[in-house]
Amino acid sequence: MMKRTLILVGVIELVSVSASARITKDGYVNQWNEVAVQQMHEYGIPASITLAQGILESASGNSQLAMKGNNHFGIKCHGWDGDKMYMDDDQKGECFRVYDSAQESYVDHSKFLRKYDRYAFLFELEQTNYKAWAKGLKKAGYATSHTYADALIQLIEDLNLSQYDGKGVELGPAPQIIASSSSVQQSNTHSVQLQADNQVKFVVAKKGDTFYKIAREFGLTLWQLRRYNDFDDQKDVLEEGDRIYVQAKKSFRFFAPKRTEMVPESMTVNEFSQLFGVTVGMLLRMNDEIEDGGDRLQKGAKVTLR
C-alpha cells in the first residue's frame, strides 16, 4: 500500500534539511523528468503524473524517506526482501522499502500501478489526458485525500509538466503510410509496415543495419529507438530480419477484449513482445507465471495479451 501522509500539499514534517538546502519543485523536475519519461515509454504512465506524484509524496525529494531510503513514492514493505526503514504513517512504526537508488523507486512505482487490477482502467486512457489520470488515481483509491486529484492537476499545470507527456513519442519526418496492416511504402532504404494487431509502425532490419542508422533515418534518438523496442539488454548488434518498431507500442485498448495468443515457436518473452507489438511490462502484468523478459516461452504456450 502506498504511503499517504506525504501527499498533502504543504505537509513536510519529515524534512530534515535546512531551508537553504531544500530541493525546489523546479529543481526536482529538472532532476527527474528524464526518468519519468523513460518510465512512461516502458509502462505507459504519463510522465506528468509520475513527476507530480513524486513531488507530492516526497516533498520534492526532501522527505526523510526520500533522502535516507531513496523512496520517492512511499511504497511500503509488503512482500519486500530488501532493506527497510520504519516510520510513523497511517499507523505507528510502519515498514517502508529502501532502495539502492531513487531511480529504482521510480521503477517500483511503475510496476506497482501495473500490477494491481484496480488501476487497469487507467491504461485505457490517453497518456496525454493527465486530468483523467489524476481523477482516476483518486477513484481507484490510490490516496485518501479528497483533494489528491486537484493537487496533482494543479502541480502539473503550475509546473507545465504536461510538456513531458509527448516527449520522445512523436516521430520525426517519416513517410506516409497506407492504412492497412499489410501495406508498405518505401522510405529511403526501409519499408515501413504496420503491426497487424495494433497498427504500430515497424521496419525489418537488413544486412549491415545498425540502431544508429535506423534511428537517424526516422528522426529518432538512440534512446527513443531502444525504448520503442524490447530487445535483450545485451543486444548491441542488429541481425537481418529483426523487427524494429519506430514508434511507441500502444496500450491494450487497441486489442479486442480478452485475448490470448499461442507462441508459434520457442522464444523469449522479449522476442514475443516484438512479434506482437506489446511491451514486456504489459506481458508481465497480464501473465503472473512470467517473471522476466528473458524467460523462454515454449511452442504452443498461451500468452494473455489482455
Separate counts of helices (H) and strands (E) for the chain: 10, 10
What pLDDT does 171 receive? 35
What pLDDT does 252 receive? 52
One CATH from 3.10.350.10, 3.40.50.720, 3.90.550.10, 3.30.930.10 for 252-304: 3.10.350.10
**Contacts of residue 269, Cβ cutoff 8 Å, sequence gap at least 6:** 280, 283, 284, 290, 292, 293, 294, 295, 296, 297
Let me know if the fold of 185-245 is the same as that of 252-304. yes
Measured in whole angstroms, the distance separating CA 272 from the mean position of its chain's CA atoms is: 19
Packing angle, helices 25-43 and 47-58, rounded to 10? 130
Domain boundaries along the sequence of the chain: 5-166, 185-245, 252-304
What pLDDT does 188 receive? 55
CB 279 within 8 A of CB 290: no
Domain 5-166 has CATH 3.30.870.10: no
> Which ranges constitute the DSSP H helices of the chain?
25-43, 47-58, 64-69, 102-115, 130-139, 148-158, 211-217, 222-228, 269-276, 280-286
Sole residue written with cell 520534492 = 60
CB 84 within 8 A of CB 77: yes
What pLDDT does 71 receive? 94
Task: Tell me how far apart the alpha carbons of residues 71 and 81 are, in angstroms, rounded to a whole number.
Answer: 15
**186 phi and psi angles, rounded to 5 deg:** -70, 135
Can you name the CATH fold of 185-245? Membrane-bound Lytic Murein Transglycosylase D; Chain A (3.10.350)
Q: What is the pLDDT along the chain (306 residues), one digit of tens a residue?
A: 444 433 333 333 334 444 447 899 999 999 999 999 988 887 889 999 999 999 999 999 999 999 999 999 988 888 888 899 998 877 788 899 999 999 999 999 998 898 888 888 888 888 889 999 999 999 998 888 899 999 999 999 999 999 998 775 443 333 333 333 333 343 458 888 988 777 788 999 998 888 888 988 888 877 778 888 888 777 778 889 999 999 888 655 444 466 788 999 999 999 998 988 888 888 888 888 888 888 899 999 999 887
What pLDDT does 78 receive? 82
Question: Residue 108, class by beta-carbon neighbours within 10 Å (0-12 exposed, 13-18 middle, 19+ buried)?
Answer: middle
C-alpha cell at 305: 495479451
Tell me how crowded residue 254 is: count the other CB atoms within 10 A of its CB: 15
Question: Residue 195, class by beta-carbon neighbours within 10 Å (0-12 exposed, 13-18 middle, 19+ buried)?
Answer: buried
Sole residue written with cell 495468443 = 261
Q: What is the pTM of this model?
A: 0.54
Tell me how crowded residue 199 is: count the other CB atoms within 10 A of its CB: 15
